[in-house]
Structure 1
C-alpha cells in the first residue's frame, strides 16, 4: 500500500511540475505577444511620421539603432554607381507591380557632410529590366526608412563579393567588401522608384510574425489536458480503492 501511495505521489509531483511549466510557457507567450504588439505599433508610427535628417557621421560610432530603426530619414549626396551591389530577395508582397525572386539594388551615397550611406534604391526582378543608374557623382536626395543590419542563420547562403551579390543586408560587411570606409552602420530604403520604374522603390518589408496568442493557447490547452487527465486518474483510483474495500 505504501509503495502504491509513493508511486501515486511521484506521479502527482511530476504532473504538477509539468503543469507549472506548461502554464509558465503560456504566460511567457502572452508577454511576448504584448512586446510584439508594442513593436508593431512603434514601427507603424515611425513609418507614418514625417521624415527627419539622418544621423550624421559623428553619431555613427555610438548610434542607438533600436531608437532609429524604421524612422523615415532624409539624405543628400552623390551616388557611387561604380560600387553598386545587390542583395537577393524573394518579394512576395510588393507594394509595386513587380514581385518574385530578384534583388534589392544597393548604391553607396556619399553624403555632402562626409561619410557614406548604402541606399537600397529598390527592387529589380531576376527576370531583368533596365535599372536606372546614370553617371557616378549624380546628386540625389533620398527619403526612406532607416534599417538596421539583417541577421544571418544557418540557412543564409554565403555572399559572393566578386559578383557583388549578398544574402543579408549588413551595411558594415557590405561596405568592407566594396572598399568603402567611413560607412554608416545602417542602410536606408529609398521610397521613390528610379526613372522608368526600376528599381522599384518603397519596398520596405515590415514583417513581424505574431503567433504568440496561438502558442499561448496551445500551452494552456496542454496544461488543461494534463490537469483533466490527472484528475480523472485520481478519481478512478479513488473509486477502485472504494471497490476494493467493499
Structure 2
C-alpha cells in the first residue's frame, strides 16, 4: 500500500514522493528472529550455570577421600550425573591374561590404555584402566615385572563406559581393535561375567614399577557458553537496530507540512501568507 504527497516549491514547480509502508511479513519475521536470538542467549546463560555447577561437583568428587566402589546391588543405578569421577578404591587380583589394549593419545604420546579385569573376593569383576603404555610396550611379555599376581588395592576415579567407539572409529572386537573403553563389548569379547558396568581409572598412587603409567586421567569441561551468549545477544541487538533503521520512518512518521499546488481550489481561503502551506496529516 502506498500514498503520494504533492508539494510546490517557491519557484512554482511540483514533484511527487512515494512512501511505501513496511512489509508486514518482513516485520513479523524480524520480530520472531529477535525473540529466537534472545532465547538462545538466555539458554546459553543457563547452560553456563549448569556447566559451572558440574565442574564444582566433579572437583569435589575427585578430591574427596577414596570410598569403596558401589556394591553390585546398586550397579544398575550408577549414572554419569551422580557417580562419574568419584574417587574410589577396590581390591582383588588381576586377570592379566584377559587384558585389553585400547588406543590412546596422552601427554606421554600415542599408545594404549591397558584395561585389566580385577577379580574381587566376592567373585565379581571390575575393569581397571591401569594406565598408559607406548606402542613398543604393548606386548605383555615386555612388562611382566609390572604385572603383579597377588592381591592388590587400586584407587582411582570411577568412569562410565564408552560405548561404540572413539576417534571417529568403531571398535572391532573380532579383530581385537579397540578405540574406546566399551565395558560391555570388552567383557563379551573376553568371555567375562558379573562385571561392573563402569571401569576405574587407576591413579598414580596405584602404579606398579614396570607397569602402565597411571594417573593420566584428563578432566576437562569446555565452557564457552558466555561467549556464545554474548554472540546471540549481539546479533539480536544488531537485528533490532536494523529493524529500527528500516521500519522506524514508517512506524514513527511525524505530521508534516505539505505545500498545496498553487491555485488550488481552497488555497486562497486557507493561506495566512503569500506562500504559506496547508497542514496535511499522513494517513
Q: Which range, TM-score by smaller chain?
A: 0.7 to 0.9
CA contact (8 A) 2:84 2:160 kept: yes
Distance in 2, Cα, partners of 1:244 & 1:230: 27
Distance in 1, Cα, partners of 2:147 & 2:212: 16
Deviation at 1:149? 1.4
CA contact (8 A) 1:148 1:185 kept: yes
- Out of 148, 165, 177, the position equivalent to 2:177 is 165
Distance in 2, Cα, partners of 1:16 & 1:227: 8
- Out of 216, 224, 247, the position equivalent to 1:211 is 224
What SS does structure 1 have at the residue aligned with 2:101? Answer: strand
Which structure has the bigger radius of gyration?
A: 2
Aligned twin of 1:150: 162
What SS does structure 2 have at the residue aligned with 1:185? Answer: strand
CA contact (8 A) 2:75 2:197 kept: yes
Distance in 2, Cα, partners of 1:245 & 1:33: 56
Aligned twin of 2:53: 38
Deviation at 1:73? 0.7
Distance in 2, Cα, partners of 1:13 & 1:182: 60
What SS does structure 1 have at the residue aligned with 2:112? Answer: strand
Structure that is richer in strand per residue: 2
CA contact (8 A) 1:78 1:110 kept: yes
Q: How does 1:1-246 map to 2 (within 5 A)?
A: 1=1, 4-5=20-21, 7-91=22-106, 94=107, 99-128=108-137, 130-132=142-144, 137-152=149-164, 156-191=168-203, 192-196=206-210, 198-235=211-248
What is the TM-score when the length of structure 1 is the normalising length? Answer: 0.85
RMSD (Å) for aligned C-alpha atoms: 2.8
CA contact (8 A) 1:79 1:107 kept: yes
The change in CA–CA distance for 1:224 and 1:133 in structure 2 (over 3 A counts) is farther
Deviation at 1:67? 1.7
The change in CA–CA distance for 1:154 and 1:189 in structure 2 (over 3 A counts) is closer
Distance in 2, Cα, partners of 1:137 & 1:160: 29
What SS does structure 2 have at the residue aligned with 1:168? Answer: coil
The change in CA–CA distance for 1:178 and 1:49 in structure 2 (over 3 A counts) is same
What is the TM-score when the length of structure 2 is the normalising length? Answer: 0.75
What SS does structure 1 have at the residue aligned with 2:103? Answer: strand
Deviation at 1:8? 2.5
Work out the number of aligned pairs and report it: 238
Structure 1 unaligned blocks of 5 or more: none
